[in-house]
Structure 1
Amino acid sequence: MFNPNTSIFAGMPTAAVQQALANAQAALIQLQSGQKGVSFSYAQGDGTKSVTYQQADIAALTALIRQLQQQLGIIPRARRSFRFVYR
């Protein structure tokens, strides 16, 4: 169960957590819309250069966004299930 007092974001200033959330959401939008490239090539005077970036895992990025939202209290923590006891 998520606990904001013991999460990996505990102790971070709220503004820093909000900025991290905004960055993660922007990265997810770029990945899902195809705006974020993975491999690029370009010609320079001394030949062709290429740069390759590691593509982020969308599931991991989505999980990070949910953790940041929970830390900020935007989405409620999971509720414990309860059961009825008949006597």
Structure 2
Amino acid sequence: MSVFAGMPREQLQAALTAAQQALIELQTGKAFASVSYSQGDGAKAVTRRVTTVAECTALIAQLQSALGMRQRRRAFRFVF
């Protein structure tokens, strides 16, 4: 049983799209860990956890599998 069991296909597809976009942002350096700035009423900070490429790739693979998009690789056979 998948951790995504019971989720509607539309939700899975939306999550896959978001995960793929997050991976692109992570690989292009657009994802950030934290940003701080000062305003008239004091300092503000925004923090977002940045995952690793491996974590994003694993999530994408899980979502693709739940959507039936992943095909299993066939074994390589060498014929002489």
Q: Taking structure 2 as the reference length, what is the TM-score of the superposition?
A: 0.79
Q: Which runs of 4+ in 1 moved over 6 A?
A: none
Tell me, yes or no, if structure 1 residue 36 matches structure 2 residue 36.
no
Alignment of 1:66-77 (within 5 A): 66-77=61-72
Structure 1: any 5+ residue segments left out of the alignment?
A: 1-5, 82-87
User: Separation in 1 of the partners of 2:12 and 2:46?
Assistant: 30
Q: CA deviation at 1:69?
A: 0.6
Tell me, yes or no, if structure 1 residue 52 matches structure 2 residue 42.
no
Structure 2: any 5+ residue segments left out of the alignment?
A: 76-80
SS in 1 for 2:24: helix
SS in 2 for 1:50: strand
What corresponds to 2:6 in structure 1?
Answer: 11
The percentage of aligned residue pairs carrying the same residue is 52
**Count of residues paired in the alignment:** 75
Q: Taking structure 1 as the reference length, what is the TM-score of the superposition?
A: 0.74
What corresponds to 2:19 in structure 1?
Answer: 24
Q: CA deviation at 1:10?
A: 1.4
Bigger radius of gyration, 1 or 2? 1
| Native 8 Å contact 1:70 1:77 kept in 2 | no
